[in-house]
Amino acid sequence: MEELTTREREELYEDLKRLRDELNELLAMSEDGTKPVDVDEPIGRISRGDALQQQQMARASKENNRLRLKRIENALAAHRNNSYGFCRQCEEPIGFARLKTRPETPFCLSCQKEFESR
């Protein structure tokens, strides 16, 4: 795999910043969906169950967004110290196509597959 060109690095850096901003916005908007369900609120039994399920889904989505935001912040830090685009496991370059799809990924495809197979 070839190292990223300057243009590719700049494009991915902009992608990372845009994703960071989008995730921060999503996390700010998700606050209402993760508030506790008021058991004293006069809603039906099924509606309360739906509300609890929606709350659990909102919490899971929020946690996933937090984890992705952390990976994006790590990728931005790697960009600043010129280690972005290299696999954290084998230190080989990660392909542009893979980074364009998931710019925060810390692993090349081979190491990712190995990690997932464990």
Please state which of the ranges 49-58, 70-79, 82-91 shows the lowest mean pLDDT: 49-58
Check residues 36 and 86 and name the one with the higher pLDDT: 86
Mean of per-residue pLDDT scores for the chain: 88
Torsion of CA 40, 44, 45, 48, to 10 degrees: -60
CATH number for 6-117 (one of 3.40.50.80, 3.40.50.300, 1.25.10.10, 1.20.120.910): it is 1.20.120.910
Q: What pLDDT does residue 116 have?
A: 92
- Global pTM value: 0.79
Q: Which long-range contacts (CB under 8 A, 24 or more apart) does 81-86 make?
A: 84/4, 84/9, 84/12, 84/13, 85/3, 85/4, 85/9, 85/12
**Measured CA distances, 18 to 12, 77, 78, 80 (Å):** 10, 15, 16, 16
Q: What pLDDT does residue 106 have?
A: 96
